Amino acid sequence: MSGIDNNRKVPTRLLAIIAGTAVANLYYLQPLLRVVSVAFHLHGGEAGFLVSAGQAGFVAGLATLLPLGDRFDRRKLIALSLVLAAGFDLWVAVARGLPQLLLALAGLGAFAVVAQVAVTYAAAAAPVQSRSRAVATVMSGLLAGIVLARTYSGAVAGVASYRIVFVIAASAGVVLALATLWWLPAEKEKPRLKLGDILRTSLELYRREPLLRFRSLLGMLGFASFSMFWTTMALALSRPPYHLSTGAIGLFGFAGLAGVLAARLVGKLSDQGRTGFTTLMSFSIVALSWLGFLLDRRSLLLFAVLTATLDAGLQGAQLTNQSLIYRLGRGSHGRVTMVYMVNYFFGGLVGSLSASLLFTAGGFFLVSLAGIVAGLLSLGIWLGFAGRERRWISEAGTVG
C-alpha cells in the first residue's frame, strides 16, 4: 500500500466508523428541526437555515482542512479534527441564543470534514486494483452514519432533550480520536507543500482535468437534490396528512440503508469499469423518485419507499463520481477531493437554502418539482457528455 507504513495493515473498518461518526454531525439536526424551531422560536421554513449553517462550515473545512492531508499525516489530522468536532458538539448542546447555535453548527460542519479525510486516507493507501472497493467500504460507513444519525437523534430527542444528542456525540468523538492514534498507521513523509501551494495546485488540477470538472458538476447537482429533500422532509412529515412525532421521523433514516447497499454494489461495478451504467441508473432513479413525491403526497408507505430509492440513487451517483476522480493525481487525493467536495457541498448549500424558501412558499410540492428539475438536469448533462467522458477517462490512463 502506498503512503503508509507497509508493515501495518490499514483498518478500513475503523476508517468507516470514523467517517460515519464524523459525518453524522451534519445530520443529527434534520429530524429535530421541529423541536429546535420551537426552542428558538423559528417559523415556517426558517429552521432549514440551521442546516445551511452546518453546510457552510463544511465547505469552509473542505477548502482548508481537507487539502492539508496532502501535506501532513492524515492520522494526526483525523485525531485532532475529531477532538475539535467534539468541542463544537458540546457548544451546540449548551447554545442558548440563535447566533450561538449558528456559529456552533458552522464550526461543527467545518470539522465534520474529517469524514472525507478518512475517505482520502483509504484511497491513498489502497492498491489501484482495489481502490474503488476500499473507498466503497469507507463510504458505506459514511452512509451508515448518515442513516443512523437521523434515527439516533430522533430516538434520543423523543425521550430526552435534543441537547443530549450532541453530548453523546462529543463523547463518541473523543473515544474515536484515541482509537485513531492507537490503531491507524502513520503515513510516510510527504512533500513539504505550503498551504498556498496546495490551493494553487488544487486550482491547477481543476483547470487541467475535464473529468474532475465534469464529475464535480454532477456531484453539485446530486447533493443539491439530496439537501432539498432532507432539509424539508422533517417539516413535511410533521404536518398534515402525516402528523409524525420526532421519534417517528427519525425512523425514516433507516430508509437510507438503501444507499449503503447501493454503495457496495456501485463500488464493485466501478472496479469493473461500468461507471456509465451506474451513472445512468443512479440519476434515472433520482428523477423518478422525485416524480413519485410530486404525484402522491398522502401515502406514508410510498413516502418511505421513495425516500429509500432517492437515497440509493444519490449515493450511487456519489460513489461513481468518487471512484472516477480518485483515478486522477496519485499523491494528490486530498486536493482532488477538496475540489470535488467544495462543488458538492456548494450544491448542498444552494439546495438547502432554496428548499427552505420553496417550502415556505408552496410546501413540499414545490420542493418536489425542483427535485425533478435537478434530477433531469443531471441526467441530461451526463447523456450530453458521455462520449467525451469516455475519452477523458482513457486519457487519465483508465478504462471506463
Q: Residue 283's domain is classified under what CATH number?
A: 1.20.1250.20
Cell readout for 350 is 444552494
pLDDT of residue 400: 37
Question: Which residues, 6 or more positions from 207, have their beta carbon under 8 angstroms from its beta carbon?
Answer: none
pLDDT of residue 4: 59
35-54 pLDDT tens trace: 898 899 887 667 878 988 99
pLDDT of residue 152: 92
Integer CA distances (angstroms), 211 to 23, 132, 206, 363, 396, in order: 26, 17, 9, 37, 9
| Domain enclosing residue 281, as ranges | 12-395
Question: Which residues, 6 or more positions from 177, have their beta carbon under 8 angstroms from its beta carbon?
Answer: 78, 79, 80, 82, 83, 86
pLDDT of residue 236: 92
Asked whether residue 400 is assigned to any structural domain, the reply reads no
Do 111 and 85 form a contact (C-beta atoms < 8 A)? yes
Integer CA distances (angstroms), 21 to 116, 118, 174, 176, in order: 12, 11, 11, 9
266-270 contact pairs (CB < 8 A, 24+): 266/136, 266/315, 266/316, 266/319, 266/320, 266/323, 267/132, 267/133, 267/135, 267/136, 267/137, 267/139, 267/319, 267/323, 268/132, 268/133, 268/136, 270/132, 270/136, 270/319, 270/320, 270/323, 270/324
pLDDT of residue 399: 38
Asked whether residue 4 is assigned to any structural domain, the reply reads no
pLDDT of residue 398: 43
Asked whether residue 386 is assigned to any structural domain, the reply reads yes
pLDDT of residue 331: 66
Asked whether residue 139 is assigned to any structural domain, the reply reads yes
pLDDT of residue 14: 95
Asked whether residue 302 is assigned to any structural domain, the reply reads yes
Domain count, the chain: 1
Cα(89)–Cα(109) distance, rounded to whole angstroms? 10
Asked whether residue 3 is assigned to any structural domain, the reply reads no
Asked whether residue 30 is assigned to any structural domain, the reply reads yes
Residue ranges for the chain with pLDDT beneath 50: 1-2, 6-7, 398-400
Cα(60)–Cα(55) distance, rounded to whole angstroms? 9
Asked whether residue 194 is assigned to any structural domain, the reply reads yes
